[in-house]
Amino acid sequence: MPIHTVQKAPSKTLVVAAFAALYIIWGSTYLAILIAVKNIPPFLMAGTRFVIAGLILYTWCRLHGQPTPDIKSIGHISFSGILLLFVGNSGLVWVEQYVPSGFAAIVIATVPLWFVILDKRQWEFHFANKKIVIGLLIGFAGVLSLFIGKSNVDFHNKMQRISFFVLVIGSISWATGSLYSRYNKSNGSNGMKAAIQMMAAGSLSLIIGMGSGELQQFSWSHVSAQSIMAVVYLITFGSLIGYMSFVWLMTVRPPSLVGTYAYVNPVVAVFLGWLIANEQITWHQVLALIIILAGVIIVNFSKEKIQQQ
């Protein structure tokens, strides 16, 4: 007679703490990245951050008896890590050389919208609902509105214009990597998966950094204490605490719900950029953020309402 096991529901306290880490800590990482790249080349910084965090987490997992996944699983996990952390996050690090951290956070607030567009398995459900479609249109209208009116980004500037599109590509890649992780099951604990993702993305970032000549541009004598502290913060809070929370939540909550961190992150990022980095905040950008978040909220609330019916 088969024995049926009941999977224990995750602790509500842990779920709340994990969401708090995504909402607050990840919102503050935009400022930390801005401070770090003032003295450290972007790909070397991102690569160092992820490799160190990945090695720490991998060592912790092994010491606690967690096995290393099989080769096939490592391949799947590494691929998702490259989509999420190399294209998505290292791209953000590169961008923050040219645009304010608050502006970057506003564009990345569209990630939940990309979840809906890229989740092919749910297309029939998503696009049959008028409210979800309206929410998508409103959200992307907010993105387009960034091109109109006064902003602290000059779209006539080549590097700032390129940075905008890199942010869009990074947002798409983050949603793609998240969905890939969800639909392509692989062996390994959540911690082990996060460690492999970070080491894979970090290694590629270091290779790109060294290949593009960043090592020749780097000098320890020019690195400030603030930049070092920012990197330490990104390793401990942004990667080990924040990213582990994200990976775990993706296994116990729907991607659309996990993606709600995008509601709070840009608000935290814009506020900290203004408070600490003296970044300009224009009413036009605030309006664009409100429009984007309105679209995201309509999409997610519509999805949740339908699923409860």
Predicted confidence (pLDDT) at residue 22 exceeds the cutoff of 60: yes
66-75, 92-101, 217-226: lowest mean pLDDT where?
A: 217-226
CB 52 within 8 A of CB 205: no
How confident is the prediction for the chain on average, in pLDDT?
A: 89
pLDDT, one tens digit per residue, over 262-298 is 778 889 999 999 999 999 888 888 899 999 999 988 8
CA dihedral 90, 94, 99, 104 (to 10 degrees): -10
Q: Is the pLDDT reported for residue 221 higher than 70?
A: yes
| 75 CB-near residues (< 8 Å, 6+ apart) | none
